[in-house]
Amino acid sequence: MISWTRVLAWAATATCVLLAVRGASVFARHATRIFSILALFALAWAVLTPYYYQADPPELLVGITGFLFAYIGVLLRREAHNPSTLQMQPFKGCEGLVPPRDAFNDSGQAVALWLLPFLVIPSAMPVASSLISALLPRVNFTTGNKIIEPVIPTLLLLVGYYGIYSGIKAYSTSRAGKNLMCTILSVYALTDSAYTVFAVYCNAHSSAAVASSKGLDFFKTEPGNPMNTGFLFAFLFLKLLFTTAFICLVLREGLSDEDRRLPLKYKILKFLKVPFHFSPASEPAPIWIGISREYRGKQEREDIYHERLNLSQGGCQVTGEIDRAVSEWQVEGSFLHDVLVLRYWHENRDRGSGAIVVERVSQTGDFRGCWLGYDRDKKQIGAGPYILTHRRDTDEVEEENKNWLDTPTYFPPAKASAPQVVYSRIEGDPGSQ
Per-residue DSSP letter, 144:
H
Measured CA to CA, the distance from residue 194 to residue 102 in angstroms comes to: 33
Predicted pLDDT at 21: 95
Give me the CATH code for the 4-271 domain, please.
1.20.1070
Predicted pLDDT at 294: 82
Q: Per-10-residue mean pLDDT for the chain, 433 residues long? A: 84 95 90 92 94 81 91 88 68 63 54 75 70 68 62 87 91 91 96 90 61 64 80 93 95 81 84 76 70 75 86 82 79 90 84 88 90 78 90 89 87 57 44 42
Predicted pLDDT at 207: 46
Measured CA to CA, the distance from residue 198 to residue 321 in angstroms comes to: 64
At residue 304, φ and ψ (nearest 5 deg) are -90, 130
Domain edges within the chain: 4-271, 288-405
Name the β-bridge partners of 370.
357, 385
Q: Tell how strand 339-345 and strand 328-336 pair up.
A: antiparallel
Angle at 25 between CA 22 and CA 27, to 5 degrees: 95
- The answer as to CATH 2.40.128.120 being correct for domain 288-405 is yes
Q: Give counts: helices (H), strands (E), the chain.
A: 14, 11
Q: Which of 195, 221, 200 is nearest to 210 (CA)?
A: 221
Residue 76: how many other CB atoms lie within 10 Å: 27
Angle at 410 between CA 405 and CA 415, to 5 degrees: 180
User: Terminus-to-terminus CA distance in the chain, angstroms?
Assistant: 114
Predicted pLDDT at 39: 95
3-state secondary structure of 106: coil
Q: At what angle do helices 120-135 and 60-81 cross, to 10 degrees?
A: 150
